[in-house]
């Protein structure tokens, strides 16, 4: 029925929200003649003039179609999101209004899982910290570097055993790790040990890896109580969304030595990184680069544009969420 009612969409009926991947941005401008939502004071004027005409929005996991913007777009029909996470978009309002959303799953699973492993190895084996030690010229005066923590054969908890969580678990199996996980529901046939809550998961493992989707349902799931169960020998790795962790509680646990270390690709309010974390040697900080390889970003851009073209053709999305 959607396809039957579909009338051609073009030009400024397509709106780019926030900065997007350069390939997507170039195609939006050159191939589609799309409009870009301006920042600052021009935004209000733009919306007053053009909001009614907007039928498709193209956005990203960081700059989505939030509640306020969605309310100002009365004729919005579809949201095309670059990235697997779409928590910057008001999903509840989109569902209420029957606005479908597409994302870019699968193509980034391996890269994000690789990033989780990089952080896991780095924070336990202190490779980045040791590199800083060498660069500071301290090796000659301090011949023995502080000992690290063994990364093989650990008990690791995956919070969110979805596509990315499973890919991380598979990699950790190669390191002889024992995998536990928590999900809304047990995952049949995974072969890993299910824990009924994040707290029980943290209590059972040496390292907690967060791979859960962001959004209101997972906000602050890893709170002070969960971190306390991980304890002073425990490590946290987060490649999902900063909002899944109570960041204040995390900073306190790390600065007060109630957690052994953390490897973080994501933060509650990016690009803000709490200043206390910058001072800590046992914390590895990345600027949200989980999917950040040339190959994967090219695949994500291609899938984003495939979704857009598909919607413009017959009102269908190739990889709709939900
Ligand atoms: C995603 O795809 O959601 C990654 O976090 C990159 O934004």
DSSP 47-66: HHHHGGG--EEEEESSS---
Which positions ≥6 away from 263 have C-beta within 8 Å?
Answer: 118, 119, 120, 122, 123, 235, 236, 237, 238, 283, 284, 286
The residue nearest atom 4 of ligand 1, judged by CA position, is 83
- Quick check: helix, strand or coil at residue 284? strand
Residues 161 and 94 in one domain: no
Identify whether residues 133 and 45 lie together within a single domain.
Answer: no
Asked if residue 43 is part of any domain, the answer here is yes
Element (H, E) at 255: helix 247-255
Domain count across the chain: 2
DSSP readout, 89-125? Answer: S-HHHHHHTT--EE---STTHHHHHHHHHHHHHHHHH
Domain check: are 87 and 205 in the same one?
no
- Give the start-end residues of each E strand in 242-281: 261-264
Q: Would you say the CB of residue 164 lies under 6 angstroms from ligand 1?
A: no
Does 302 lie in the same domain as 158?
no
Residue among 61, 214, 270, 301 whose CB has most ligand 1 atoms within 8 A, to mutate: 61
Structural domain for 33, as ranges:
2-105+295-314
Distance between Cα 272 and ligand 1 center (Å): 17
For residue 143 the two structure tokens come to: 């011949």
Other Cβ atoms within 10 Å of 118 Cβ, number? 20
CATH number, domain at 173?
3.40.50.720
Residues 99 and 128 in one domain: no
Residues 98 and 139 in one domain: no
* Residues 307, 215 share a domain: no
Which pTM was predicted?
A: 0.95
- C-alpha of residue 263 to centroid of ligand 1, in Å: 17
91, 76 Cβ separation under 8 angstroms: no
Residue 290 domain flag: no
Q: Which ligand 1 atom sits nearest the alpha carbon of residue 60? A: 7
Residue 301 inside a domain? The answer is yes
* Nearest partner of 142 among 150, 152, 154, 130, judged by Cα: 130
Please pick, among 270, 279, 281, 295, the residue that the annotation labels catalytic: 270
Task: Determine, yes or no, domain membership for 319.
Answer: no
Residues 223 and 82 in one domain: no
The reply to whether 320 falls in a domain is: no
Rounded Cα distance between 206 and 229, Å, is 10
321 belongs to a structural domain = no
- Are 83 and 61 within 8 A, CB to CB? yes
Is 57 contained in some domain?
yes
Non-local (6+) Cβ contacts of 313 within 8 A are: none
| Statement to judge: residues 177 and 237 lie in one domain | yes
**Which atom from ligand 1 is nearest to the alpha carbon of 300?**
2
C-alpha distances in Å from residue 87, one per residue of 17, 65, 213, 214, 309: 14, 9, 8, 6, 23
Q: Ligand 1 mean position to 102 CA, how many Å?
A: 13
pLDDT value of residue 1: 45
Asked whether residue 92 falls in the same domain as residue 218, the answer is: no
Please return the burial class of 299, using the count of CB atoms within 10 Å of its CB with bins 0-12, 13-18 and 19+. Answer: middle
- CA-only gyration radius of the chain, Å: 22
Is 270 a residue of the active site?
A: yes
Q: Please tell me the distance between residue 266's alpha carbon and the centre of ligand 1 in angstroms.
A: 10
Q: Is 241 a catalytic residue?
A: yes
- Check whether residue 264 and residue 305 sit in a common domain: no
Using CA atoms, how far apart are residues 182 and 154, in angstroms rounded to an integer? 17
Per-residue pLDDT of the chain (322 residues; tens, 9 = 90+): 455 557 788 898 999 999 999 999 999 999 999 999 999 999 999 999 999 999 999 999 999 999 999 999 999 999 999 999 999 999 999 999 999 999 999 999 999 999 999 999 999 999 999 999 999 999 999 989 999 999 999 999 999 999 999 999 999 999 999 999 999 999 999 999 999 999 999 999 999 999 999 999 999 999 999 999 999 999 999 999 999 999 999 999 999 999 999 999 999 999 999 999 999 999 999 999 999 999 999 999 999 999 999 999 999 999 999 8
pLDDT, position 143: 86
**Number of helical (H) and strand (E) elements in the chain, helices listed first:** 13, 12
83 touches ligand 1 (CB under 6 Å)? yes
- Write the ipTM: 0.93
- Both 180 and 237 in one domain: the answer is yes
User: Residue 38: CB partners within 8 Å, gap ≥ 6?
Assistant: 46
Q: Tell me, yes or no, if 182 is annotated catalytic.
A: no
Tell me if 322 is assigned to some domain: no
Q: Three-state DSSP class for 310?
A: helix
């Amino acid at each position: 029925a959607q396809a039957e009612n579909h009338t051609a969409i073009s030009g400024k009926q397509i709106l780019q929200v926030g900065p997007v991947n350069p390939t997507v941005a170039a195609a939006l401008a050159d191939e589609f003649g799309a409009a870009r939502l301006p920042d600052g004071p021009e935004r209000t004027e733009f919306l007053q003039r053009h909001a009614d005409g907007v039928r498709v929005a193209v956005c990203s996991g960081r700059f989505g179609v939030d509640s306020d913007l969605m309310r100002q777009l009365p004729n919005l029909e579809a949201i095309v999101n670059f990235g697997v996470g779409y928590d910057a978009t008001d999903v509840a309002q989109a569902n209420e209004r029957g606005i479908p959303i597409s994302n870019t799953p699968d193509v980034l699973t391996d890269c994000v899982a690789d990033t989780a492993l990089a952080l896991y190895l780095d924070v336990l084996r202190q490779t980045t910290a040791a590199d800083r030690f060498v660069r500071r010229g301290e090796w000659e005066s301090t011949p023995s570097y502080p000992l690290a923590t063994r990364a093989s054969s650990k008990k690791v908890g995956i919070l969110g055993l979805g596509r990315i969580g499973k890919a991380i678990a598979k990699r950790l199996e190669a390191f002889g790790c024992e995998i536990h996980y928590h999900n809304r529901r047990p995952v049949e046939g995974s072969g890993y040990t299910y824990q009924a809550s994040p707290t029980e998961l943290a209590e059972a493992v040496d390292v907690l890896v967060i791979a859960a989707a962001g959004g209101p349902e997972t906000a602050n799931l890893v709170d002070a109580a969960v971190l306390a169960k991980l304890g002073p020998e425990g490590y946290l790795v987060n490649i999902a969304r900063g909002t899944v962790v109570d960041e204040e509680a995390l900073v306190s646990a790390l600065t007060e030595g109630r957690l052994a270390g953390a490897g973080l690709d994501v933060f509650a309010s990016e690009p803000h990184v709490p200043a206390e974390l910058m001072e800590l040697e046992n914390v590895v900080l990345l600027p949200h680069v989980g999917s950040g390889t040339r190959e994967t970003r090219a695949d994500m851009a291609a899938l984003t544009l495939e979704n857009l073209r598909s919607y413009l053709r017959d009102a269908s999305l190739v990889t709709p969420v939900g």
